[in-house]
Structures are given as structure tokens and as C-alpha cells.
């Protein structure tokens, strides 16, 4: 059965109604960040007051499957050794001199519960952002444990709660929940289903992706993490291949693409082959290495006649820029899902 893209569905109220629940969840991203930050404020202040005289940990260990986001934010900044450990255990050297932090938005993951229980057993200082009555919270109970309560199940909102704590104890950069929420609200407005194709960047990106295989690149550490999240959303929405990776992994794919034949018959048997499309996530990073990698990707794309689409953001903090790029890409994925129909 052939699949084709019907762009009229992106402005069709009846078609849009079929994905209203998913679009509404995206539009509420900023509200979830504000709610989590507000609800955890008292617990964060209490934990900081209690640990005001504590010495700086020997190392910070981000445990659990959501640790990669914390790594993307903290690794370039944390003043002590930092490691992300996504498995259901801890490094063998972790102990009472270390801080173990964990994001558990749902609080029901058995691997996370096992890792946090191991941290408690070893006497490490433990800070967990999770629902207070969850499985993970039960296993985290201990003398040196702090629970930052969350309720929405949203990974980003949960991460902002943890990052706010880490900033206040001098172990992380400023996250600023208001800045993140404002950036998310801005994307929700610009990518709203009520904005038609002519002015909606997410719908325009979905159209560009309709007959292409997306390769997604971000230059900074956080933009690279965002690229992988966007590629994941595109795979889930379309059932097609989508790759988010570093420049050295994307360049061979771009350079191996065939030149577009402007005289090719669009109805020929091989006309359905999907060409790469380079999606650049630009968070404003101006590092020389980022500029060099972007220039190489752009030159390779130009040389093979490959289209380049760029998502940008002017949000105030690194985490807000990350959140904005991910949400823009997720909106585009939902519109791509909507436009793809079976013949």
C-alpha cells in the first residue's frame, strides 16, 4: 500500500481534530514546567537549607534512563567529575562521598528503583525528582535522601526541577523555569494548528519532510541532544528512518546521496526513493568547531543538491533553547504524521 502526503490536511479542521489530544499536550508543555517548578519549590528550599553546611561531593552521578539529558546540561559545566549511568546499577566506585541524582518522571521504572536503592545502601547523598508516592520514591527512602516532588510525568519539567536544585547548590548552570516555560509557550503559539501553512514553521517543515529522509544535526552539546530527540519523534510519527547524529556520522550519508535529476520522470518506479534532508538545530552556539562542522555539512548538502532546513531559537538560557528546539521538531513530527495517508 502506497503512502503519500496530503498537505491540505494540515489546515483541515476535521483532520486536525484527530490529533487534538497530542497537540494539546504539546501546547501545555510550558504549563507543566511552571507547575512542577512551583510544586517543588518548598522541597528544594528545605533541602538546600538542610544541606547548607555540606561539603561539595567528590562526584555527581546521574542515574536512571533519563540521565542523558542531565549529562548534556551538566557535563560542560559541573565543577566536579560528572558521569551519567543509565543502567539499573551504579559505578563500582560510587559511595558516601558522592551525590546521586535521578529523574524519574513516572516513578514506576524498576531499574531506576534498583539504582536508587543501591545508592541509599552505599550511603551516598541522593536527590530524586519523582512522584512522592511512587515505586522509586519508596526505594529512595533514607537518611541522606531528598525527594523533589513531581506530578506531571513530563521529562523536561522534571529535569528543570532537578537543575534548579543543582544550580542553587553550585553544581549546575542556571535553568530558570520561567525562561523555559516562556520559550515553550512561544513555540506553542507559532506552531499552533490555528496558524496556516503560510506562517506556521512546523507545518512548513512537515511538508519539506514529506518526501525526504531527515538527518538532524545540532552543534552544541544540548543541540546535539535535541537533534536525537527530534529524530526519535520523526521516526515514531512517520515509521520512516530519521537519524540524529554528529557531523562526522551524517557527512557520509549526505555525500553518498545521488544528485537530483531534474529531468527524472516523477511517476517512474524509482521515483519514490526518499532523498536526505538536512535539519539543522541552531541554538546560537558560536563555537569555532560548531561553525566548522556546520560549514562542512552545508557544503556537502549544496554539492549534492540536498535541501537544508534550519530551526532557530532566541530563548534566554541553554535549557530554554534546548526545549524550544525539541518542541518545534515535535510539532513538525505531529504534522508529518497527520499529512501522511495511505493510498
Q: How many Å separate Cα 244 from the centre of its chain?
A: 12
- Output phi, psi for 287, to 5 deg: -65, 140
Residue 24 exposed, middle or buried by CB count within 10 Å (0-12, 13-18, 19+) = exposed
Q: Contact 341/7 with Cβ under 8 angstroms? A: no
Q: How many Å separate Cα 197 from the centre of its chain?
A: 25
User: What is the per-residue pLDDT for 66?
Assistant: 86
Report the chain's C-alpha Rg in angstroms.
22
pTM: 0.93
Nearest 10 degrees: Cα torsion 69, 72, 73, 78: 120
H-type alpha helices, the chain: 13-17, 20-27, 29-39, 41-50, 67-74, 110-121, 135-140, 155-168, 177-190, 201-209, 221-238, 247-255, 288-303, 318-339
The grid cell for 148 is 523533589
Distance CA 221, CA 38 (A): 28
Same fold, 3-29+180-342 and 41-149: yes
The CATH class, in words, for 3-29+180-342 is alpha beta
The grid cell for 280 is 539543522
Distance CA 24, CA 19 (A): 9
Please give the CATH number for the structural domain made up of 41-149: 3.40.50.10490
For the chain, 343 residues long, give each residue's pLDDT as a single digit of tens. 578 899 999 999 999 999 999 999 999 999 999 999 999 999 999 988 887 666 889 999 999 988 999 999 998 889 999 999 998 889 999 999 999 999 999 999 999 999 999 999 999 999 999 999 999 999 999 989 999 999 999 999 999 999 999 999 999 998 899 999 999 999 999 999 999 999 999 999 999 999 999 999 999 999 999 999 999 999 999 999 999 999 999 999 999 998 776 656 555 555 557 899 999 999 999 899 999 999 999 999 999 999 999 999 999 899 999 999 999 999 999 999 999 998 6
Neighbours of 62 (CB within 10 A): 26
Domain ranges of the chain: 3-29+180-342, 41-149
Amino acid at each position: 500500500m502506497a503512502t503519500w502526503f496530503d498537505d491540505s490536511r494540515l489546515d483541515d479542521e476535521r483532520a486536525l481534530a484527530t490529533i487534538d489530544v497530542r497537540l494539546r499536550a504539546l501546547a501545555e508543555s510550558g504549563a507543566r514546567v511552571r507547575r512542577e517548578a512551583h510544586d517543588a519549590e518548598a522541597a528544594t528550599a528545605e533541602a538546600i537549607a538542610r544541606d547548607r553546611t555540606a561539603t561539595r561531593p567528590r562526584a555527581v552521578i546521574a542515574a536512571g534512563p533519563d540521565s542523558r539529558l542531565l549529562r548534556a546540561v551538566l557535563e560542560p559545566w559541573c565543577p566536579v567529575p560528572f558521569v551519567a549511568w543509565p543502567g539499573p546499577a551504579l559505578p563500582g566506585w560510587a559511595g558516601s562521598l558522592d551525590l546521586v541524582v535521578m529523574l524519574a518522571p513516572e516513578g514506576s521504572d524498576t531499574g531506576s528503583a534498583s539504582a536508587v536503592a543501591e545508592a541509599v545502601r552505599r550511603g551516598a547523598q541522593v536527590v530524586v525528582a519523582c512522584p512522592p508516592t511512587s515505586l522509586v520514591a519508596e526505594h529512595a527512602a533514607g537518611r541522606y535522601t531528598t525527594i523533589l516532588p513531581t506530578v506531571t510525568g513530563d521529562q523536561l519539567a522534571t529535569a528543570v526541577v532537578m537543575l534548579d536544585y543543582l544550580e542553587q547548590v553550585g553544581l549546575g548552570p542556571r535553568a530558570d523555569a520561567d525562561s523555559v516555560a516562556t520559550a515553550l509557550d512561544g513555540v506553542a503559539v507559532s506552531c499552533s494548528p490555528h496558524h496556516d501553512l503560510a506562517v506556521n514553521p512546523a507545518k512548513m517543515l512537515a511538508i519539506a519532510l514529506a518526501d525526504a529522509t531527515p538527518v538532524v544535526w545540532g552543534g552544541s552539546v544540548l543541540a546535539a541532544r535535541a537533534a536525537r530527540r527530534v529524530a526519535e519523534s520523526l521516526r515514531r510519527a512517520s515509521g520512516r528512518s530519521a537519524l540524529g547524529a554528529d557531523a562526522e556520522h551524517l557527512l557520509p550519508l549526505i555525500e553518498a546521496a545521488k544528485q537530483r535529476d531534474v529531468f527524472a520522470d516523477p511517476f517512474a518506479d524509482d521515483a519514490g526513493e526518499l532523498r536526505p534532508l538536512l535539519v539543522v538545530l541552531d541554538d546560537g552556539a558560536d563555537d569555532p568547531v560548531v561553525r566548522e562542522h556546520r560549514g562542512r555539512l552545508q557544503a556537502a548538502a549544496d554539492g549534492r543538491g540536498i535541501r537544508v532546513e534550519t530551526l532557530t531559537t532566541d530563548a534566554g538560557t541553554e535549557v530554554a533553547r534546548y526545549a524550544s528546539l525539541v518542541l518545534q521538531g515535535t510539532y513538525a513530527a505531529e504534522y508529518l504524521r497527520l499529512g501522511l495517508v495511505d493510498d
